[in-house]
Structure 1
């Protein structure tokens, strides 16, 4: 069986240059983002456990833990893996060297994977410590009660949902209306779920009972903390992208810049990008073995010609 079937060899060009590049780019970004969002979520849980001396009291409500990867962060990743296009089909044809990004494994290298993992750890540290410090001495009702576990957990969870979805929005190269729906819908659904779940009897909703309506929503510090954490947690990504685009752009980023600047029809500019784009190709064992066989075949052919001439 085969994953892909083509009726004629003339379809092979589009299959490799367009769909081959798109699939490699989508899968690479999707897997890296999965690492990022789950590390962000998991490390906040670990930090809270360490902060409470591993008291076995979870940072989030049980349903919050269960639904994070189901409703609040999974659909944007699926949309990324299906619809994202870092470069249009026309530019994939115009710059066939884009296919070399997959051959050289530039978008799914260990350096890129570890970079996304460190980004997730930083995001989790920013969310936990900023939420903890900002809510430490804040009053949430007229009786002077300060933030408890349910308020801190709700604020942290809100920040996690916002940050991982905003990170997804920043990482996407090609927006469709469906991606807008799943990204902003995931954030909106979190607030809807928190209100509905908090309205259920305390025997089921436990510590989430009316926590949003009575504690979080009326508190200005909840909204200000969420807004500040969102911007602060995304600073490393902004800085990295700016430095990369300015000094170390990838080939697909050069092509995106060509399109943005309107130089796609400038032959000198296009040739300059082609010349500085791709390093020498590294091939695998199978390709090296095939090349060796071809050289050996040519050597034997030359020997036969010499023998016949003799």
Structure 2
């Protein structure tokens, strides 16, 4: 039974350790099962769902900007970013924040998980990892990529980057786009975090700072190694006010759609954990009538498991008998 289950939970006791050895998770007493399911079960489902959706978002944002640049250059094989920029995006500049979310994020505290056990139904009903939510994050990535590419391209088209009157080259455009990319994907994650700790602050702001440090060190190396990134930050990007203004405006325009969507959904179409967040924010956590109203709003029919199959079977039987009754009456 444990081996056939998606996740097997074994309880160590006087019966022996065979069940524990065959299980994925072992607990010492049966009473620990409540916290395992209601608290850690909900947290893990929420964290993993957010992690996977965010991975779709940031990689689609990164990939679509490259595709748009290739289309802009008539598919001439001119790369949008330096080779090391491409290699290190998912290694140093956007990996640690999402790992921190997968470990530390809590949409609802443990106390409220106990108080509202129906939170566990978010996983049963697959609310946070549905195709609708995944496609929504992918669409958000496309919007961010469009904002990054077109705003950077248009804002730098006629800008002068040195006293000799030279306009921005492809290395300047690529560096600006990459800077906006690092800012946008990390701030997007910050907007989706429900529970901030010092770890999240360190990894989010540290990833952004690491990009600037890397760009300065890498650009100061010999041209044979840094190639087109040689002194691009110190001599071209950093002295130009348009570089910093473009980064600021791209961040704002890229994040506004998600911010508006999240605000509207949180206020008018909240899911269950968002209702509980409103309860905590407005101070109604001890109002029995208000809490019961939220519980009733959260109840939905299950879509997976034995209960859903049994309910579907009952509905089919009812339709079958209704059809027989209709035929007999007509006869």
Task: Give TM-score, length-normalised by structure 1.
Answer: 0.92
| Match of residue 48 from structure 2 | 27
User: SS in structure 2 opposite 1:191?
Assistant: helix
| Match of residue 127 from structure 1 | 148
Whether the aligned pair in 1 keeps the contact of 2:301 and 2:308 (CA below 8 Å) is no
- 1: CA distance between counterparts of 2:237 and 2:88? 20
1:247 Cα offset (Å): 1.5
1:291 Cα offset (Å): 11
| Match of residue 243 from structure 1 | 264
- 2: CA distance between counterparts of 1:230 and 1:17? 37
Residue from 225, 237, 252 that aligns with 1:231: 252
User: SS in structure 2 opposite 1:9?
Assistant: coil
Whether the aligned pair in 1 keeps the contact of 2:302 and 2:308 (CA below 8 Å) is no
| Match of residue 9 from structure 2 | none
Flag structure 1 segments of 5+ consecutive residues without an equivalent. 293-310
Task: Tell me how many residue pairs correspond in the alignment.
Answer: 292
Task: Give TM-score, length-normalised by structure 2.
Answer: 0.86
The 1:291–1:58 alpha-carbon spacing in structure 2 relative to 1, beyond 3 Å, is closer
Flag structure 2 segments of 5+ consecutive residues without an equivalent. 1-21, 314-331
Residue from 261, 279, 289 that aligns with 2:282: 261
| Match of residue 195 from structure 2 | 174
| Match of residue 305 from structure 1 | none
Whether the aligned pair in 2 keeps the contact of 1:134 and 1:225 (CA below 8 Å) is yes
Residue from 162, 166, 170 that aligns with 1:149: 170
Q: Flag the structure with more relative contact order, 1 or 2, with Cα contacts below 8 A and sequence separation at least 6.
A: 1
Matched, 1:217 2:238: yes
For residues 129-155 of structure 1, give each alpha carbon's deviation from its aligned partner in whole angstroms, at most 9, with x where no partner exists. 000000000000000000000000000
- 2: CA distance between counterparts of 1:171 and 1:280? 27
Matched, 1:62 2:83: yes
For residues 78-120 of structure 1, give each alpha carbon's deviation from its aligned partner in whole angstroms, at most 9, with x where no partner exists. 0011100000000000000000000000000000000000000
- 1: CA distance between counterparts of 2:266 and 2:161? 44
User: SS in structure 2 opposite 1:68?
Assistant: helix
- 1:48-87 aligned within 5 A: 48-87=69-108
**CA RMSD between the two structures:** 1.5
For residues 152-208 of structure 1, give each alpha carbon's deviation from its aligned partner in whole angstroms, at most 9, with x where no partner exists. 000000000000000000100001101100000000000000000000000000000
- 2: CA distance between counterparts of 1:213 and 1:273? 55
Matched, 1:186 2:207: yes
Whether the aligned pair in 2 keeps the contact of 1:36 and 1:116 (CA below 8 Å) is yes
- 2: CA distance between counterparts of 1:261 and 1:215? 49
| Match of residue 93 from structure 1 | 114
User: SS in structure 2 opposite 1:5?
Assistant: strand
- 2: CA distance between counterparts of 1:83 and 1:64? 28
| Match of residue 45 from structure 1 | 66
Matched, 1:15 2:36: yes
